[in-house]
Chains A and B, each alone.
Chain A
Amino acid sequence: MRFEPTMKQAVIRRTARKYAEEVLAPAAVEMDRTGQFPQDIADEMAELKYFGLEIPPEYGGAGLDPVSYAIVVEEISRANAAMGLCVAVHNGVAAAPMYEFGNQFQRKKFLVPVATGKKIGTFCLSEPNAGSDASAIETTAVRDNKDYILNGNKVFVTNGHVSGTNLIFANTRPGEKKKEYTVFFVESEREGVEKGPLEELMGMRGNPVCPITLHDCRVPEENLLGEQGQGLKIAFATLNGGRIGIAAQALGIAQACLDVSLRYAKERHQFGRSIAQFGAIQKHLADMATQVEAARLLVYRAAGLRDKGLEYGMESAMAKLYASKIAVDAARIGIQIHGAYGYSKSYPIERYYRDAKITEIYEGTSEVQRIVIARSLMER
Chain B
Amino acid sequence: MNIAVCIKQVPDTPSIRMDRERMTIIRDGVESVINPLDYVALQAALDLRDRKGGEVVVITMGPPQSEEALREAIAAGADRAILVTGAAFSGADTLATSHVLAVAISKLDPFPDLVLCGAHTTDSDTAHVGPQMAEELNLPQICGVNEIHMEEDYLTVKRLSDGFVETLQVSLPALLTVTQELCSVGHLPLGDLQIAFSEREITQWGPEDLGLKEEEVGLRGSATQVWKLSVPPPRREGDLISGSPQTLVDHLIRKLEDLSILDEEDGYKS
Q: Which residues on A are within 8 Å of B, measured CB to CB?
A: 6-8, 10-12, 14-16, 18-19, 22-23, 44, 47-50, 52-53, 57, 61-64, 68, 72, 267-269, 272, 341
Contact of B191 among A52, A267, A272 (CB under 8 A): A52
| Given A10-B68, A11-B71, A62 contacting B258 (CB threshold 8 A) | no
Closest to B186 in A: A48
Of the A-B pairs whose beta carbons lie under 8 Å apart in the complex, a sample of 26, sorted by A's number, is: A7-B67, A7-B71, A8-B197, A11-B75, A11-B193, A11-B197, A12-B193, A18-B187, A19-B187, A48-B187, A48-B190, A49-B189, A49-B192, A50-B190, A57-B191, A57-B194, A57-B195, A62-B191, A63-B195, A64-B190, A64-B194, A68-B194, A72-B190, A267-B242, A269-B239, A272-B254
Which residues in A have their C-beta under 8 angstroms from that of B242?
A: 267-268, 341
* A62–B194 CB distance below 8 A: yes
Contact check: which of A7, A19, A23 meets B197 at CB < 8 Å? A7
Q: How far is the CA of A53 from the CA of B189 in the complex (A)?
A: 11
Interface residues of B in 49-72 (CB under 8 A from A): 65, 67-68, 71-72
Interface size for B (C-beta < 8 A) is 26
- The reply to whether B188 and A48 contact each other, CB–CB distance below 8 Å, is yes
Q: Contact residues of B with A, CB < 8 Å?
A: 31, 33, 65, 67-68, 71-72, 75, 187-195, 197-198, 239-242, 251, 254, 258
Q: Is the CB of B191 within 8 A of A11?
A: no
Contacts A18-B187, A49-B190, A272-B258 given; does A8 touch B33 at CB 8 Å: no
Closest A residue to B67 by CB, please name it.
Answer: A7
Query: If the complex has contacts A14-B33, A15-B187, A18-B187, are A269 and B251 also in contact, measured as CB distance less than 8 A?
Result: yes
Question: In the docked arrangement, what's the CA distance between A57 and B242, Å?
Answer: 51
A22 to B75, CA, bound (A): 20
Q: Which of B67, B75, B191 contacts A63 (CB 8 A)?
A: B191
Determine chain A's interface SS by DSSP, over half rule. Answer: helix
Which listed residue (A10, A19, A49) contacts B31, Cβ 8 A?
Answer: A10
Query: With A and B bound together, what is the CA distance between A49 and B45 in angstroms?
Result: 24
Q: Which of A12, A61, A72, A269 lies in contact with B241, CB distance below 8 A? A: A269
7 closest A-B pairs by CB: A8-B197, A62-B191, A49-B191, A62-B190, A7-B68, A49-B190, A267-B240
Shortest Cβ distance from A12 into B: residue: B193
The smallest C-beta distance from A244 to any residue of chain B, in angstroms, reads 17
CA distance A6 to B68 in the complex (A): 10
A14-B72 Cα distance, complex, nearest whole Å:
11
Cross-interface CB contact of A8 among B65, B189, B193, cutoff 8 Å:
B193
Q: Which residues of B contact A57 (CB under 8 A)?
A: 191, 194-195
Q: Are A15 and B191 in contact (CB under 8 A)?
A: no
B198 near A8 (CB under 8 angstroms)? yes
Q: Which residues of A contact B241 (CB under 8 A)?
A: 269
Q: A267 → chain B, closest Cβ, in Å?
A: 5
Q: Which residues of A contact B68 (CB under 8 A)?
A: 7, 10-11
- Which residues from B are CB-within-8-Å of A23? 187
B47 to chain A minimum Cβ distance, whole angstroms, is: 17
> Which of A62, A68, A268, A272 makes the CB contact (< 8 A) with B189?
A62
Identity of the chain B residue whose Cβ is nearest the Cβ of A53 in the assembled complex: B190
List chain A residues, Cβ under 8 A from B195.
Answer: 57, 63
Tell me, in angstroms, the Cα distance from A7 to B198 when the chains sit together.
Answer: 11
- Residue pair A16, B190 in contact (C-beta under 8 Å): yes
Contact (Cβ within 8 A) A15 B193: yes
Set of chain A residues within 8 Å of B31, measured between Cβ atoms: 10, 14
6 additional contacts (CB under 8 A) given A7-B67, A47-B189, A57-B191:
A48-B187, A57-B195, A63-B191, A64-B190, A72-B190, A269-B241
Question: For B258, what are the chain A residues with a Cβ–Cβ distance below 8 Å?
Answer: 272
> What is the distance, in angstroms, from A295's C-beta to the closest C-beta of chain B?
20
What B residues does A8 contact at CB under 8 A? Answer: 71, 193-194, 197-198
- B187 near A63: Cβ-Cβ < 8 Å: no
Evaluate whether A15 and B188 lie within 8 angstroms (CB atoms) in the complex, with A7-B197, A8-B198, A269-B239 already known. yes
Closest Cβ–Cβ distance, residue A151 to chain B (whole Å): 39
Most chain A CB within 10 A, of B65, B75, B194, is at: B194
Q: Please state if A48 and B189 are interface contacts (CB–CB under 8 Å).
A: yes
- Considering the complex, give the chain B residue whose CB is closest to the CB of A6: B197
* Most B C-beta atoms less than 10 A away, residue of A10, A15, A53, A57: A15
Please name all residues of chain A whose beta carbon is closer than 8 Å to the beta carbon of B65 when the two chains form the complex. Answer: 7
**A236 CB to closest chain B CB, in angstroms?**
28
A44-B251 Cα distance, complex, nearest whole Å: 47
Give A2 Cβ to nearest chain B Cβ, in Å: 15
Contacts of A6 in B (CB 8 A): 197
User: With A and B bound together, what is the CA distance between A93 and B67 in angstroms?
Assistant: 35
In the complex, chain A residues whose CB is within 8 Å of the CB of B71: 7-8, 11
Task: Determine how close the nearest CB of chain A comes to the CB of B236; give it in whole angstroms.
Answer: 14
A63-B197 in contact given A48-B189, A272-B254 (Cβ < 8 Å): no
Q: Which residues of chain A have C-beta atoms less than 8 A from B194's C-beta?
A: 8, 57, 62-64, 68
Interchain CA distance A11-B71 in the complex, whole Å: 9
Q: Which residues of A contact B190 (CB under 8 A)?
A: 12, 15-16, 48-50, 53, 62, 64, 68, 72
CB distance from A346 to the nearest CB of B (A): 10
